[in-house]
Amino acid sequence: MTIPGTAKERVHGHKALVDLLRRAYSAEKAAAFAYQGHAASVKHFLDKKCIQGIEVDEWGHRHEVLEIMKQYGIPVSRYYEVRFHIIGKTISAACHVIGWFMPYYFAGRLESGNVCEYFRMMHYFHAIGITEHDQVLYDMGVREKDHEVYFLHRIKNRKALAFFERIFAWGSRKSFNDVDLAVLKTVQESEAYCRK
């Protein structure tokens, strides 16, 4: 079935997609800022390097989302930029005072939700007949899953995890996505992810 209108018109007509792109672009900055503080707050060299690598990934995702936005003439949201700048800087500073466990826990919880952002974008693009961004959206979604798994691995043996999982609904038995890196779907099959 052919969907009427140019690609730009179809994208602009999909308000949820436009908002998700704008929000994701700005939220990646918040995540990168948060990881700056997180990396600075940990003492172990390998942990520090891993978290810094995740920060680099977030800046890369921000760049990729911006490229998609530019393609369709979607402006950056000043509101989201200011809001997520403040959130990111606040979390960054908090990492120095809230102990070791919570930055790992809440980073993992955040990344768990971020996985579906990119697969939801893919669903939205498909709904308006656009598939050209599938690979980059898939790659970003899977990379966010890598981040979730890393953070969960660092805290999986901590006694506090069970308590936090009951309160905040994420942990070793609960996730905000259905991506499994052990049996990863292909790009073509990944349309099935994050449908719940």
2-11 pLDDT tens trace? 688 999 999 9
Residue 156 lies in a domain: yes
Domain carrying residue 138: 7-192
Residue 105 lies in a domain: yes
Look over the chain and give the mean of its residue pLDDT values, rounded to a whole number.
Answer: 96
Give the CATH number of the domain where residue 58 resides. 1.20.1260.10
Tokens representing 35 are: 């990881």
Number of domains in the chain: 1
Rounded CA separation 144/61 (Å): 10
Residue 100 lies in a domain: yes
Residue 2 lies in a domain: no
122-179 pLDDT tens trace? 999 999 999 999 999 999 999 999 999 999 999 999 999 999 999 999 999 999 999 9
Residue (of 137, 93, 95, 92) closest to 118 by Cα position: 137
Residue 196, pLDDT > 60, answer: yes
Global pTM? 0.94
Residue 12 lies in a domain: yes
Residue 1 lies in a domain: no
